[in-house]
């Protein structure tokens, strides 16, 4: 199945980091795009202006909330494909307000699924879940090797965490995203919807405005550029696989193009074992790019923190003939260069009042 060129591609949360990159790629390829976004996150209005400046009339925007079932239904009825990114994204926010977290992540996703179920024909759906559905991975024995946490099992160390890893929801955020993840897979099975799930690891790249809760590579770079302190939670030896957003967009478009093959499945999606980095290694790389680092602060482990998470990406590689092209060193260099050129992001935060902030 290819995207129906006569209908717009619906991207919920489309003014966010990933949505902006996907919308730009689609619009460059000639596909009309419909963005549904409540514009509640800092910086997304800037992303929207950037898209409108570059693409004009081929982009349509509906300012609204995925909790509004009727608004979602109207948008889905027009769509040739749906990418559902709209979400509450922070573990810390979910701990403060779990009801809001559930209403957006689980309830909003159910609204999208019900709208797709009622549509004729049902447009294909890609839902972005998270590696947090696997919890803290306490059942994976780890060793500290050369300043990096790594599984003791050599096979797991070589391949990463696969889709057979038991689900273990931690935090309200993990529960709400995990519930939505399972709803998508169940609707694909029960109602035969053309839907799939990406359980994503560390995604980074253009248009990202990172903070302590999400987008940590961009957060580190921005702190270095602003001269603001960076807080390291845990010991800095935790390992993540990093995937550049350009590679993620490639994967998303391949998934929709092959939705008949991949529907009903969840795929772990990240940079894989070839693109791993620890917090300490990322700081060292940023120091080489910038010449120095701001003050570093230490704090304890946060609830749900994983000492090790690397995606086993082989299942999606086999299903869609995809692999990451941009390595961490190259991608981090791109991110640094792009953020250095973004004046709004480099202003001290106290002086940025009245404008969008990272």
**Coil, strand, or helix at residue 136?**
coil
Rounded-to-integer distance, Cα 89 and Cα 137, Å: 20
Q: In what order do the strands lie in the sheet with 9-12?
A: 59-63, 33-37, 9-12, 81-84, 125-130, 195-200, 266-269
Contacts with 336 (C-beta within 8 Å, 6 or more apart), sequence order: 221, 286, 289, 290
Q: Are 11 and 36 in contact (CB under 8 A)?
A: yes
| CA 2 to mean position of chain CA atoms | 23
Q: Are 163 and 269 in contact (CB under 8 A)?
A: no
Residue of 127, 149, 173, 309 marked active site: 173
| CA 260 to mean position of chain CA atoms | 23
Q: Are 232 and 309 in contact (CB under 8 A)?
A: no
For CA atoms 272, 265, 162, 210, give the dihedral sign: positive
Asked if the bond preceding 121 is cis, omega within 30° of 0, the reply is yes
173 has catalytic annotation: yes
Catalytically active residues are 173
């Amino acid at each position: 199945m290819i995207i129906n060129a006569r209908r717009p591609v619906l991207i919920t949360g489309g003014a966010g980091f990933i949505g902006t990159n996907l919308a730009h790629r689609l619009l460059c390829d000639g596909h009309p795009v419909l963005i549904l976004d409540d514009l509640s996150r800092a910086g997304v209005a800037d992303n929207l202006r950037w898209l409108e400046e570059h693409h004009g009339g081929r982009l349509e925007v509906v300012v609204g909330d995925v909790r509004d079932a009727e608004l979602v239904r109207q948008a889905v009825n027009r769509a040739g494909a749906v990418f559902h990114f709209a979400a509450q994204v922070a573990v810390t926010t979910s701990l403060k307000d779990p009801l809001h977290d559930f209403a957006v992540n689980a309830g909003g996703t159910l609204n999208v699924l019900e709208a797709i179920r009622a549509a004729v024909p049902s447009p294909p759906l890609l839902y972005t879940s998270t590696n947090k559905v696997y919890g803290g991975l306490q059942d994976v024995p780890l060793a500290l090797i050369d300043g990096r946490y790594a599984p003791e099992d050599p096979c797991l160390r070589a391949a990463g965490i696969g889709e057979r890893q038991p689900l273990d929801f931690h935090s309200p955020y993990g529960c709400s995203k995990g519930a939505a993840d399972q709803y998508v897979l169940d609707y694909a099975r029960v109602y035969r919807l053309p839907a799939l799930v990406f359980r994503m690891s560390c995604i980074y790249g253009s248009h990202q405005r990172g903070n302590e809760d999400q987008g940590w590579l961009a957060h580190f770079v921005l702190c270095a550029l602003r001269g603001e302190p960076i807080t390291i939670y845990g010991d800095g030896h935790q390992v993540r696989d990093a995937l550049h957003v350009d590679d993620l967009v490639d994967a998303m478009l391949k998934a929709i193009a092959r939705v008949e093959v991949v529907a009903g499945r969840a795929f772990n999606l990240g940079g894989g074992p070839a693109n791993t980095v620890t917090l300490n290694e990322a700081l060292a790389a940023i120091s080489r790019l910038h010449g120095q680092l701001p003050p570093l602060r230490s704090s304890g482990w946060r609830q749900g923190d994983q000492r090790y998470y690397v995606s086993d990406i082989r299942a999606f590689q086999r299903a869609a003939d995809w692999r990451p092209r941009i390595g961490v060193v190259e991608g981090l260099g791109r991110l640094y260069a792009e953020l250095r050129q973004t004046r709004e992001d480099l202003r001290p935060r106290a002086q940025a009042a009245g404008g969008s902030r990272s």
